[in-house]
Amino acid sequence: MARGFFPLDERLGLLARSTFSPRVHACLVRLGAELAFERVPELAKLLLGVSVSADTVRRLTEAAGAAQVVQEEAACRHLRRDAPDGPAGPAVQQLSADGAMVPLVGGEWAEVRTIALGRIELSGGMDPHATDLRYFSRLCSAARFIDWVELPLYEAGTAQAGTVLAIQDGADWLTQLLDAHCPDAVRILDFPHAAEHVGRAAQAAFGIDSREASAWLDRWLHELKHGDPDAVIAAVRALPASRAEAGAIRDATASYLKRRRSQIAYAAFRAAGYPIGSGIVESANKLVVEARLKGSGMHWARRNVTPMLALRAVTCSGRWDEAWPGIWQQLREQAQARQRARWRTCHEARQEQERAKRAAATLALTGPMLPKEPAKIVDGRPTAGHPWGRGFDQHLCVKAQVRART
């Protein structure tokens, strides 16, 4: 039976060769992005009234995630080619990025990088907090991630934001990210990260969990948060060092804080109403990455991590309704391309079969084609295959004479 594309399929937006309606397909993908694949069949039966295997849920979810990645890659190419004006940004925006580890097949671990963007609400008398959170995650190198970040920054209106607060730890790749995309951002070293460095120096000087270390930290962490950062750097330099290791840690901590002097002016940041912690990206690591990719017994093929992260970022950012139509259209185009390729392969195979049948019929009518003998005379001269060129053979002559007599 011949196959073809049906106008009704196009009008209804159906997926070629799909077992499920568009709505059921979308629900299965959403469930697969939220829950372990093994948990989805029971819920699908209860909520949707359909029977489906965990492997099917996995296949549909991973395909949808890959389609979202294709959509985002196309959006990045469009940005770089056409450089359109971005949407309006908030008056104050927080930008934080960090990494988290995920388990891969074969016992490996790989670092997933995530950026979190949010609108800062400066409320009088209340700690500042971020709203309208948007997440973006990838399993890739730092350099590749810095390229990718162009898309979420564009979508969040970062270029048009009044003030961008870049709150993160002091990793080199994060500094490179800001240099590439937000050189004018207000850079703030995450306070818990700075406190961790100071605490390490105090523990090395006075002993781990010692009373002296606790008393020293109570005083100088309060000063770091509310007072003069230069006084804190001086206090770190003055820590005792009874051991060479303690002295090395003390000097490294003082140097670390000195290089980031402008990023640890926490009293000034707090007076301006700015947050001093990168909690939004730490929460993103838990919400986007760990809640779905670090379940008990989970191990992921490397190629499937980024597609799942793309779906997780969409769902956790509250952008599912915005993103799904593009995902569905990409899935339909891919399915139609596969179908056309199958039909083209079948058509070529049928043509080859027809040619073989015609050749067999011709052979049956004409008989086998014997090879043509080479010409014995060319331009009036005998060729190498002419009998004259064989020379005189006495034995052949004798045999010919005998045959003539008989």
Higher-pLDDT residue of 365, 171: 171
Do residues 106 and 71 both lie within one domain? no
Q: At what angle do helices 22-34 and 302-316 cross, to 10 degrees?
A: 100
pLDDT score of 362: 79
If you average pLDDT over residues 345-373, what whole number do you get?
78
Q: Residue 1 has what pLDDT?
A: 42
pLDDT band at 324, cuts 50/70/90?
Answer: very high
Residue 13 sits in the same domain as residue 122: no
Within this chain, do residues 209 and 356 fall inside the same structural domain, yes or no? no
* C-alpha span between 94 and 167 (Å, rounded): 7
**Region 302-322 average pLDDT:** 96
Asked if residue 289 lies in contact with residue 310, where contact means CB atoms within 8 angstroms, the answer is: no
- DSSP code of residue 242: S
Same domain, 57 and 129: no
Tell me: do 71 and 198 sit in the same domain. Answer: no
For residue 274, pLDDT over 80 is answered with yes
Interacting residues of 300 by C-beta distance below 8 A, sequence separation 6+ = 102, 103, 104, 105, 293, 308
Model pLDDT for residues 179-225, shown as the tens digit of each residue: 999 999 999 999 999 999 999 999 999 999 899 999 999 999 999 99
Domain identity same for 69 and 131: no
What are 18-30's pLDDT values in tens digits?
A: 678 899 999 999 9
Residue 128 CA, distance from chain mean position: 32
The letter for the amino acid at 169 is D
Say which residue, 69 or 374, is predicted with more confidence.
Answer: 69
Q: State the total domains in the chain.
A: 2
Same structural domain, 180 and 268: yes
Answer whether 146's CB lies under 8 Å from 180's CB: yes
Whether residue 2 has pLDDT greater than 50? no
Give CA–CA dist 375/352, Å, rounded: 35
Residue 387 pLDDT class (50, 70, 90 cuts): low
To the nearest whole percent, how much of the chain has pLDDT over 90? 67
Specify if 306 maps to a domain. Answer: no
Concatenate the DSSP letters of all residues of 18-62 into one string.
-SS-HHHHHHHHHHHHHS-GGGHHHHHHHHT-----HHHHHHHHH
47 and 108 part of one domain: no
Which residues in 270-405 belong to E strands, given as ranges? 377-378, 381-382
For residue 8, tell me if it sits in a domain: yes
Q: Which of 222-226, 291-295, 399-403 has the lowest mean pLDDT?
A: 399-403
Q: Which of the pair, 376 or 231, is modelled with greater confidence?
A: 231
Q: Judge if 143 and 39 occupy the same domain.
A: no
Residue 9 lies in a domain: yes
- Per-residue pLDDT at 144 exceeds 90: yes
Judge whether residue 149 has pLDDT over 90. yes
Query: pLDDT by residue (tens digit) across 359-371?
Result: 888 777 776 666 6
- pLDDT at residue 125, rounded to an integer: 57
Residue 294 lies in a domain: no
In DSSP terms, which residues pair with 188 in a beta bridge?
167
Q: 275 in a domain, yes or no?
A: yes
Q: Does residue 351 fall inside a structural domain? A: yes
pLDDT above 50 for 120: yes
Distance separating alpha carbons of residues 403 and 399, to the nearest angstrom: 6
Average pLDDT, the chain: 88
Quick check: 32 pLDDT over 90?
A: yes
Looking at the structure, tell me whether residues 344 and 260 fall in a common domain: no
List the domain range (segments joined by +) for residue 355. Answer: 1-84+319-367
Out of 261, 286, 311, pick the residue that ends a domain. 286
CA distances from 308 to 90, 304, 312, 322, 331 (A): 29, 6, 6, 17, 15
Residues 126 and 52 in one domain: no
The gap between the terminal CA atoms of the chain, to the nearest Å, is: 72
Tell me if 310 is assigned to some domain.
Answer: no
Token code pair at residue 308: 């799942």
